[in-house]
Chains A and B, each alone.
Chain A
Amino acid sequence: MFSVRTAALLAALIPAAASAQGAQYRPVAGTFALTDCRIETVTNGTIERGTLVVRGGRIEALGANVAAPADAVQVPCNGGTVYPGLFDSGDRVGLQEIGAVETTVDIDEVGEITPQMRALTAVNPSTVHIPVTRLSGVTTVLTFPRGGLLPGTAALIELSGYTPDQMAAGFEGVVLAFPRQGRRGSFDRREQAEVDKASREALAKLDDVWRQATLYARIDSARTAARDASPQPYQPEMAALLPVLRGERTLLVEANAAADIVAALAWLKDKNVRAVLTGVSEGWRVADQIAAAGLPCLVGPVIALPARDADRYDRPFENVGLLAQAGVLVAIRSDEEDNARNLPFHAGFAAAYGQEVGFGPAQALAAVTINPARIFGVADRLGSLEVGKEATLFITAGDPFEARTHVTGLFIRGEQVPLVSRQTELYDEFLRRGAATTP
Chain B
Amino acid sequence: MTRLLILLLAAACTPLPALAQTPADLPPADARGSLLVRGATVHTVTQGTRVADVLVRDGRIAEIGPGLSAPRGVRVVEAAGMHLMPGIVDAHSHIALSSVNEASTPVVAEVQMRDALDPTAIEIYRALAGGVTTIQLLHGSANPIGGEAETIKLRYGTLDPDGLLFEGAPRTIKFALGENPTRVHGGRGVRPSTRMGVEQVIREAFTDARIYAAAQDDARRAGRPLPPVDRRMETLAGVLDGTVLVHCHSYRADEILMLVRVFRDFGITHLTFQHANEAFKVAPELAAFGAGASVFSDWWSYKFEVYYSTAYNAAVLTRNGVRTSLNSDDAGMMRTLYHEAAKTQRYGGLTDDEALALITINPAQQLGVDARVGSIEVGKDGDLALFTADPLSIYARVSMTVVDGVVRFDAARDGDDQRLSIDPAERVAAVRLSEDEIDDACMIDAFTF
Q: Does residue A70 face the partner (Cβ distance < 8 Å to B)?
A: no
Q: A264-294 vs B: 1/0 string, CB under 8 Å?
A: 0000000000000001011000000000000
Q: Is the CB of B312 within 8 A of A424?
A: yes
Is A4 among interface residues, defined by CB-CB distance under 8 A? yes
Contact A192 B125 (CB under 8 A): no
Q: Which of B47-55, B163-171, B190-198, B300-308 contacts A (4 or more CB under 8 A)?
A: B300-308
Interface centre among B129, B285, B392, B437 (most CB of A within 10 A): B285
**Known contacts A352-B395, A426-B312: A308-B436 contact under CB 8 Å:** no
Q: Mark B115-151, 1 if CB is under 8 A from A, else 0.
A: 0000000100110011000000000000000000000
Pair A182/B287 contact, Cβ less than 8 Å: no
What residues on B are CB-neighbors of A279 within 8 Å? 433
B346-A406 in contact (CB<8A): yes
> Which of these, B130, B287, B289, B298, contacts A341 with CB under 8 Å?
B298
* A45, CB-defined interface residue at 8 Å: no
How many angstroms from the CA of A402 to the CA of B391 in the assembled complex? 11
Q: Say which one of B62-70, B77-85, B422-430 lies at the interface with A.
A: B422-430
| Contact A101/B304 with A403-B342, A431-B316 known, Cβ cut-off 8 Å | yes
A313 touches B285 (CB 8 A): no
How far is it, in angstroms, between the C-alpha of A319 and the C-alpha of B343 when the chains are bound?
24
Contact B332 A304 (CB under 8 A): yes
**Docked-complex contact B302 and A314, CB < 8 angstroms:** no
**Interchain CA distance A282-B179 in the complex, whole Å:** 36
Stretch in B38-46, B105-113, B232-240, B411-419 with 4+ CB within 8 Å of A: B411-419
Known: A192-B428, A256-B431, A402-B394. A439 touches B257 (CB 8 A): yes
Q: How many A-B residue pairs have CB under 8 A?
A: 197
The interface-forming segment of B1-9, B25-33, B276-284, B367-375 is B276-284
Partner of A313, one of B284, B335, B430: B335
Say yes or no: A98-B285 contact (C-beta < 8 A), given A305-B432, A348-B395: no
The answer to whether A353 and B284 have CB atoms under 8 Å apart is no
The reply to whether A304 and B397 contact each other, CB–CB distance below 8 Å, is no
Interface residues on chain B, size class:
35 or more
Report whether B303 and A431 are in contact in the complex, using a CB–CB cutoff of 8 Å: no
User: Does B309 touch A at the CB level, under 8 Å?
Assistant: yes
> What is the bound-complex CA distance between A146 and B436, given in angstroms?
13
Is B439 interfacial (CB-CB < 8 Å)?
yes
Residues of A contacting B281 in the complex (Cβ-Cβ under 8 angstroms): 430, 433
Residues of chain B within 8 A of A71, CB atoms compared = none
Alpha-carbon distance between A279 and B435 when the two chains are bound, in angstroms? 10
The answer to whether B319 and A431 have CB atoms under 8 Å apart is yes
A99 within 8 A of B: yes
- Pick the contact of A309 from B122, B264, B312, B339 — CB < 8 Å? B122
- Residue from B285, B303, B394, B431 in contact with A345 in the complex, judged by beta carbons closer than 8 Å: B394
A113 to B165, CA, bound (A): 51
Residues of B within 8 A of A337 (CB): 301-302
6 residue pairs, one from A and one from B, having the closest CB atoms: A185-B432, A348-B394, A100-B303, A436-B284, A403-B342, A427-B312
**A positions within 8 Å CB-CB of B:** 3-4, 97-101, 128-129, 146, 180, 182-186, 188, 192, 195, 256-258, 279, 281-282, 301, 303-314, 335, 337-339, 341-342, 345, 348-349, 351-353, 361, 399, 401-406, 422-424, 426-427, 430-431, 433-439
